[in-house]
Amino acid sequence: MDTNISRIIIRKATQKDSVAVQRIYDNIHTEEENGRATIGWIRGIYPDARTIKDALERQDLFVAETDGKIIGTVIFNQLQVDSYKDAPWQYDALDSEIMVMHTLVIDPSEKGRGLGKEVAKFYEQYALDNGCHYLRIDTNEKNSTARSFYKKLGYKEIGIKGCTFNGIKGVNLVLLEKKI
């Protein structure tokens, strides 16, 4: 495993980054379709071009780049999905104190280099910089890789809720939380 990370830059995405973000989404969909990843996303449903467009309009889409190449993408905001309502959160925080990370994707060709950990570190600092001490994340129950990753970073699974998630029916959504 190559853990030598060139200088990684995480920044808000611009319209010109759309093609690179779509490429990353396409790559992760291909990995899933070929059985090399189990995330629970479906090409043409989520994440897709609409995901990019909406996040750019909200100005909460970020990209991670190294050596001038965009190698990851993520959304940070305070939007809690409907499945978060009535969840058994361990912290009774105000919405204004909560930051949510959505749709973290590192290009599959870059996996194993610690880039996801760098993005997660950035997320925590971004949350603090925006006055948020409570972090929330969700992932599909099938996504054992993400579940293990978040556990190593100190996130606690607080429950699993069945739902239709971004147009994908029958998802068991794992809800995770961390206080920083």
CATH number for the domain spanning 128: value is 3.40.630.30
Q: Work out the burial of residue 139: count CB atoms within 10 Å of its CB; fewer than 13 is exposed, 13-18 middle, 19 or more buried.
A: buried
Domain-located, residue 154: yes
What CA–CA distances, in Å, run from 69 to 32, 86, 174, 177, 180? 23, 40, 31, 31, 31
In whole angstroms, give the CA distance from residue 21 to residue 29: 12
In whole angstroms, give the CA distance from residue 97 to residue 134: 6
Measured over the CA atoms of residue 89, residue 90, residue 95 and residue 97, the dihedral's sign is negative
In whole angstroms, give the CA distance from residue 40 to residue 58: 25
Domain-located, residue 172: yes
Q: Which amino acid would we find at residue 33?
A: E
Task: Tell me how far apart the 2 most distant CA atoms of the chain are, in Å.
Answer: 43
Domain-located, residue 2: no
Contact 158, 89 (CB under 8 A): yes
pLDDT in tens, 17-47: 999 999 999 999 999 999 999 999 999 999 9
Domain-located, residue 141: yes
Tell me how many degrees the CA angle 150-20-6 measures, rounded to the nearest 5: 60
Domain-located, residue 45: yes
- Cβ neighbours of residue 60 under 8 Å, at least 6 residues apart? 12, 75, 76, 77
Across the beta sheet with 98-106, the strand order is 8-12, 61-66, 69-77, 98-106, 134-140, 168-179, 156-165
Task: Give the pLDDT band (50/70/90) at residue 112.
Answer: confident
How many structural domains does the chain have? Answer: 1
Q: What is the pLDDT of residue 4?
A: 52
pLDDT in tens, 140-178: 999 999 999 999 999 999 999 999 999 999 999 999 999
Q: Would you give the DSSP letter of residue 46?
A: B
Domain-located, residue 3: no
Domain that holds residue 69: 9-179
Predicted model pTM: 0.94
